[in-house]
Structure 1
Amino acid sequence: MLFAAAATVAAANGGGASAGSGAPARTEPRTPGLRSPDAGFARDMAVHHQQAVEMSFIVRDRTQDEAVRTLAYDIANTQANQRGMLLGWLDLWGLPKVVADEPPMAWMRAASGGGDDRAGHDGHDGHGGRTGDPASGALMPGMATKEELERLGAASGRDAEVLFLQLMTDHHKGGVAMAEGCAQQCGTPVEKALAQGMVDAQRSELTLMADMLKQRGAAPRG
Structure 2
Amino acid sequence: MGSSENDADQAEASAVEPEEPAPAERTGWSRWVVIGGTLIAVLLVGAAIGVFATRLTDGSDAVPATPGAGSVEVGFAQDMSVHHLQAVTMAGWARDHSTDPEIRQLAFDIERTQTEQVGRMKGWLMLWDQPEQATGAYMTWMTEPMGHAGMQMPTSSPAGGAPMPGMATDADLAKLRSLSGRALDVEFLQLMLRHHQGGVAMAEYAQDHTSNDAVKALCRSMLVSQGAEMDQMKLMLKGRDAQPLPAP
Same fold (TM over 0.5): yes
Q: Tell me, what secondary structure is at the counterpart of 1:190?
A: helix
Alignment of 1:30-109 (within 5 A): 30-101=65-136, 103-109=137-143
Alignment counterpart, residue 146 of structure 1, candidates 170, 183, 188: 170
The alpha carbon displacement at 1:187 in A equals: 2.2
The alpha carbon displacement at 1:141 in A equals: 0.2
Query: Which residue of structure 1 aligns with residue 5 of structure 2?
Result: none
Query: Which residue of structure 1 aligns with residue 230 of structure 2?
Result: 206
The alpha carbon displacement at 1:133 in A equals: 3.4
Cα distance in structure 1, aligned partners of 2:166 and 2:62? 39
**Contact conserved, 1:142 with 1:174, CA < 8 A, in 2?**
yes
Structure number with greater Rg is 2
Tell me the alpha carbon deviations over residues 175-214 of structure 1, each in whole angstroms, 9 at most, x when there is no partner.
0000001111122101111011101111111110000001
Cα distance in structure 2, aligned partners of 1:75 and 1:127? 26
The reply on whether 1:162 has 2:186 as its aligned counterpart is: yes
Tell me the alpha carbon deviations over residues 89-114 of structure 1, each in whole angstroms, 9 at most, x when there is no partner.
0000111112322x1111112xx39x
Letter in 1 for 2:205: G
Cα distance in structure 1, aligned partners of 2:209 and 2:115? 23
The alpha carbon displacement at 1:62 in A equals: 2.2
Cα distance in structure 2, aligned partners of 1:140 and 1:37? 16
Letter in 2 for 1:28: V
For structure 1, the 5+ residue unaligned runs are 15-25, 114-125
The reply on whether 1:181 has 2:205 as its aligned counterpart is: yes
TM-score (norm 2): 0.70
Deviation beyond 4 Å, 4+ runs, structure 1: 129-132, 134-137
**Contact conserved, 1:55 with 1:164, CA < 8 A, in 2?**
yes
The alpha carbon displacement at 1:129 in A equals: 4.9
Aligned-residue RMSD, C-alpha? 2.5
For structure 2, the 5+ residue unaligned runs are 1-51
Q: Which moved more, 1:45-54 or 1:28-37?
A: 28-37
Cα distance in structure 1, aligned partners of 2:239 and 2:152? 29
TM-score (norm 1): 0.77
Letter in 2 for 1:107: W
Alignment counterpart, residue 128 of structure 1, candidates 151, 159, 172: 151
Identity of counterpart residues, as a percentage? 43
Cα distance in structure 1, aligned partners of 2:95 and 2:63? 45
Q: Tell me, what secondary structure is at the counterpart of 1:108?
A: coil
